[in-house]
Amino acid sequence: MNRRETGIFDAGDVLDEPREECGVFGMYDFSGSENVAPAIYYGLLALQHRGQESCGIAVSDTTGPKGRVLSRKGMGLVNENFQEKDLDTLKGDIGVGHVRYSTAGASTIENAQPLVLHYIKGTLAMAHNGNLVNAPELTKELSRTGAIFQTTTDSELIAYEIARARINTGSVEEAVSKAMERLKGSYSLVIMSPRKLIGARDPFGFRPLCIGKRGKAWFLASESCALDTVGAEFVRDVEPGEIVTISPRFGLHSDRSHCIRHGKTARCIFEYIYFGRADSEIDRIPVYNSRIQAGRYLAQDSPADADLVIGVPESGSVAALGYSMESGIPYGQGFVKNGYVGRTFIQPGQQSRESAVRVKLNPLRHAVEGKRVVMIDDSIVRGTTSDRIVRMLREAGATEVHMRVSSPPFLHPCYFGTDIPEREQLIAYNRSLDEICSVIGADSLAYLKMERLPQIVDGLPICSGCFSGKYPIDPPEVDIRGEYEH
């Protein structure tokens, strides 16, 4: 039975938002005086926006029995699964953490991460953010060698590949390098071995990964905002195709012979438009600046006669500020977002789905009443929410609603870790701009132009396949998303 049959809805389902699978975090304290689990907990709280379905922490004490790993995983939010007493039981000076969202299929505790793998060379704990497009081929090959799978995640395939390569290599980082040669797709990895913390990023750099330091403690995190939360100084990003090793002997070390690089990179543009927190910096580009610039470009390319600019929280708000700054139209708060709605909630009886939307978002009548409003959102996926939000603004007294979107229209699915559905479910597929505008009930509609995408990240090479259909890697011939969850 699925969630809709039970009447239980994911908050993202209701708001028709694109979603991203995971956030990863790792810590190694060389002083040995600190239990790392509380810091990992706070790091995961800062990354909660990247995944709200499950979470987990795995730690080890490098001064204790080699290969002994303590872990705890659970379904739901970080603060729902970890209390102080739980963190007290996770004693160690090295550890990894993970928050997860899956695109489809069953949501089970077996698929929660970090994955802990016991094999002939010892123990590994791994957290993964991304999606492999060659998962079926790897599964078949590993199955023929006797592999028994405990999850339906492609993350387990990566762990197996590393363990298999480690048998014939001299170090864990060399095994990671050998495994990366066989992986096709997007991945940022944080791996805990008995005496090392390792970070790795796919050669295209689809998903972010950065390095931080606080005293004698080192950190790896999906976003720099998580480093800020634990009081760590941002050191640098892990480069695309790079493998970094953190150990007491060498500190932070990167061996070029282990790196997998081919010169072409393609960061996911949606990290800047939507996924990343506004206070994060990804590959030296502040997310806040990207969104301000997207709003400015929208105002330049798609002006509107209006009295007020508002944003759909959270990621639409910064772009709305940029639109206001460029256009001179006053910026205001148009919605109140209910911050107390967790991962799921119950749809109220047989009432309309619009009631469920209002649980998360409600217009500020006294702000919008009698005004011509420009409403900025980061994207429109299926369009099932935009029409309700436009209607809510009109019912609150807005005389006109002009919708501006800080990304181009979604026309293609994503195979690299973003929950963009098949083309037939996308509102922009086979519809003109006027038709989309009519469906959502706005007075006017405009999207960010494709040529603006590189400009909002200062020319950084990007992947924009969900908009253009041009992918940096050939997509799979068969859409396997949901069969191999992320």
User: What number is the average pLDDT over the span 175-181?
Assistant: 96
Q: DSSP labels for 215-270?
A: TTEEEEESSHHHHHHTTPEEEEEPPTT-EEEEETTTEEEE-GGG----S---EETH
**pLDDT tens digits, 59-69:** 999 998 888 99
* Higher pLDDT pick, 15 / 477: 477
Per-residue model confidence (pLDDT) at position 102: 64
Nearest Cα neighbor of 62 from 112, 27, 17, 13 is: 27
Q: Check if the beta carbon of residue 113 is closer than 8 Å to that of residue 124.
A: no
Q: Check if the beta carbon of residue 162 is closer than 8 Å to that of residue 212.
A: no
Q: What topology does CATH give the domain 3-265? A: Glutamine Phosphoribosylpyrophosphate, subunit 1, domain 1 (3.60.20)
Distances (CA, A) of 217 to 32, 73, 126, 183: 9, 24, 19, 30
- Going by pLDDT thresholds of 50, 70 and 90, the confidence category of residue 343 is very low
Q: Is 223 exposed, middle or buried (0-12, 13-18, 19+ CB in 10 A)?
A: buried
Distances (CA, A) of 442 to 158, 181, 320: 46, 49, 17
For the ranges 100-114, 143-157, 333-347, the lowest mean pLDDT is seen at: 333-347
Dihedral sign of CA atoms 102, 19, 337, 279 in order: positive
- CA dihedral defined by 31, 33, 34, 36, rounded to 10 degrees? 60
Evaluate if residue 170 carries a pLDDT over 80: yes
Domain-by-domain residue ranges, the chain? Answer: 3-265, 282-468
Active site residues: 22
Evaluate if residue 104 carries a pLDDT over 60: no
Token pair 């699978």 in the structure block, residue: 21
Evaluate if residue 175 carries a pLDDT over 90: yes
Per-residue model confidence (pLDDT) at position 481: 52
Nearest Cα neighbor of 200 from 248, 165, 150 is: 165
Q: What is the pTM of this model?
A: 0.90
Cα–Cα distance, 356 to 16 (Å, whole number): 12
Cα–Cα distance, 61 to 35 (Å, whole number): 9
Evaluate if residue 12 carries a pLDDT over 70: no
Per-residue model confidence (pLDDT) at position 76: 92
Evaluate if residue 103 carries a pLDDT over 50: no
Evaluate if residue 212 carries a pLDDT over 70: yes
Evaluate if residue 484 carries a pLDDT over 70: no
User: What residues pair up with 72 in beta bridges, in sequence order?
Assistant: 57
Per-residue model confidence (pLDDT) at position 342: 52
CATH number of 282-468: 3.40.50.2020
